[in-house]
Amino acid sequence: MTKFTDITLPEPIQRAAKKLGYESPTAIQESCIPWILDNDQDLIALANTGTGKTAAFGFPLLSEIDVELSETQSIILCPTRELCLQITKDIQAYAFYMTRIRTLAVYGGAPIYKQKEALRTGAHIVVGTPGRVADMIRQKALNLENVTYLVLDEADEMLNMGFHDELTEIMESIPQEKQTLLFSATMPKEVENLANKFMKEPHRISEGSENKGAENIQHFYYRVQARDKYLALKRIVDMNPSIYGIIFCRTRKETQEIADKLQHDGYNADALHGDLSQGQRELVMSKFHSKFVPLLVATDVAARGLDVDDLTHIINFQVPTDPIMYIHRCGRTGRAGKSGISITITHSKEGSALKAVEKLLGAPIVWQKVPGGREICEKQLFHFIDTVERIEVNEAEMESFLTNVFKKLSWMTREELIKRFVSVEFNRFLNYYKDIPDLDNMAESQQRKDKSSFSFSTFRLNIGDNLGLTKRELMRYINGLRVTRGIEIGRINIFSDYCLIDLDARYEAELKKAITKNPYKGQSIKPSVSQAKSAPAGSYSKDYGKKRRAPHNPPWQGKKKGKTEHYKDKSRPGAKSDRSSGFKRKSKEKA
């Protein structure tokens, strides 16, 4: 096995590596460090998050710094201020015994005048976010004329965040006689285009499959009704008592709501999203790094660049809309050779998105049954017992109290004492999870219920036999509106110049709007709708092939002066008089 001592590095860096506990390089470090030291060609290095990429470019950069030259010689660009600060901290640790090397972090959200002042005193290595670095270049506070190394760390993330223009501006400000090192977890088309534009015949090093997740991460999903996702989330957390993870949500509002609910229910959780100030972000991350808060609820944008080594779980509250995002999320666990778990909570309409993730991942995401109350209670009980077994007893400090404690509890047997001792911690789980429903069964029964009984709205459309309309074509037209997948269609009656069709009442407004915007064979349609009516189970599908005669006086005929009588449509089983639907027919005049 290769050791760091086998790699040709300056003695101060070797000492720093030993001080930091670096013994054997990771695969990306073993491939990149010697190559960068021996070549001046551009490099594209692909490796998953958490594989030690900072040392892979940090050690060679420090090896080439000329301390006699006070100008900036290396610039490292990264997507977020958190990652910027983390890289700066790592570079400074690597240069612990190289005291004359100055490294500076340049990022947004901090006073720009302080960073300008630090640049005036000189910085050999600048680590920055694209937006702030571009500002510094425009204000002539950052001189890049002597830069010999440009590092793009997490290039895919920078482009995803919309930094294309800033990256272009920065790269055009750096001399062409430089070495560009591009590090990325994935290689989408945008990164390829950037490399083709600014890099000269780059050498490629890839550790692991391109655009794939790490092999030491297990992938699971749970399927529940959308409204039950939060209940499923709590059960997943309770089933993993030692969890230390990030829960990803799509929006800032949802992120804060989930964090607030968890806090209200007694979980140590906090939110990380774009509405937080820099001070609030730092406080949240401080509590998360110290594991005082083991659950972080975050948006993708806010979590970019987080560097946490010991995460046990990543939980996706929904399937990510972009499969690449799933790769980035799950890459935050299973780092530094450790194992990790990625969990996704889905509902029935997210199946295709989940399959897209599986295809990109190149591995199956395994279905798991949502934990039941008995399973959770058993897991929590034995976790508590394990904690008791491992606890260190400070007898010296407790000795003065134990005499009275023993005396107080002496009336109980060993078995009785254990029961009461366990119940103190355990009763709340027993009470909460007593007789809880099976979320998987609830999902299945609700799906059966949705398919067997719901309400229809009757639409009158001004198209009919005169345009050659058939039931099949009408169904194809409705499905082509793409209001929702698998729209429920009930009874269909086609007449000479109009038709009646029962459609899912839940989407009445959307259907009416879509029909108005989509003509049939060049004829615009003006739909009118009756009130929603409940459909008996199974009845809506039996009339597709039946031909019905038009009622003698259709209910939509206009009214004339005189008395009216309510028309009852006897063509539908169980139909009510049109008093309930609001429609009247023309009355007969008295003889």
Of residues 558 and 26, the one with the higher pLDDT is: 26
The identity of residue 377, as a single letter, is: C
DSSP state letters, 384-396: HHHHHHHPPP-HH
Alpha helices (H) in 265-304, listed in sequence order: 278-289, 300-303
Contact 243, 342 (CB under 8 A): no
Among the ranges 140-154, 320-334, 439-453, which has the highest mean pLDDT value? 140-154
How far, in Å, CA of 264 to CA of 382, rounded? 25
Note the pLDDT tens digit of each residue in 407-445.
888 888 888 888 888 787 777 777 777 777 888 755 554
What average pLDDT is seen over the chain? 82
Alpha helices (H) in 323-394, listed in sequence order: 323-330, 351-361, 373-390
Q: Which range is least confidently modeled, 31-40, 241-250, 403-412?
A: 403-412
Beta bridge partners of 500: 460, 493
Of the pLDDT bands very low, low, confident and very high (cuts 50, 70, 90), residue 539 is very low
Give the helix/strand (H/E) hosting 574: none
pLDDT at 462: 93
Q: Does 536 score more than 50 pLDDT?
A: no
Q: What are φ and ψ of residue 474, in 5° steps? A: -65, -40
How far, in Å, CA of 505 to CA of 24, rounded? 64
CA R_g for the chain:
33
Q: What is the mean pLDDT of residues 198-215?
A: 75
Note the pLDDT tens digit of each residue in 228-240.
999 999 999 999 9
How far, in Å, CA of 63 to CA of 58, rounded? 9
Q: What is the mean pLDDT of residues 483-496?
A: 82
Q: Does 571 score more than 50 pLDDT?
A: no
pTM of the entire predicted model: 0.61
Per domain, the residue ranges of the chain are: 4-207, 217-372, 375-432, 453-591
How far, in Å, CA of 92 to CA of 104, rounded? 9
Q: What is the mean pLDDT of residues 165-175?
A: 92
pLDDT at 433: 77
Among the ranges 55-59, 454-458, 587-591, which has the highest mean pLDDT value? 55-59
Q: Which range is least confidently modeled, 66-80, 337-351, 358-372, 547-561?
A: 547-561
Joined together, the tokens standing for residue 178 give 């430089």
Closest CA to 345 of 312, 318, 367, 368: 318
Residue with tokens 């808060």: 293
Joined together, the tokens standing for residue 590 give 């008295």
Q: What is the mean pLDDT of residues 209-238?
A: 84
Q: What is the mean pLDDT of residues 454-464?
A: 88
Note the pLDDT tens digit of each residue in 509-532.
889 999 999 999 889 999 999 765
Q: Fold identical between 4-207 and 217-372?
A: yes
Of the pLDDT bands very low, low, confident and very high (cuts 50, 70, 90), residue 159 is confident
pLDDT at 1: 54
Contact 499, 493 (CB under 8 A): yes
Q: Class assignment of domain 4-207?
A: alpha beta
Joined together, the tokens standing for residue 587 give 């009355």
Q: Which CATH number fits domain 453-591: 3.40.190.10, 3.30.70.330, 3.30.70.20, 3.10.450.630?
A: 3.30.70.330
Q: What are φ and ψ of residue 18, in 5° steps? A: -65, -40
pLDDT at 427: 78
Q: Class assignment of domain 217-372?
A: alpha beta
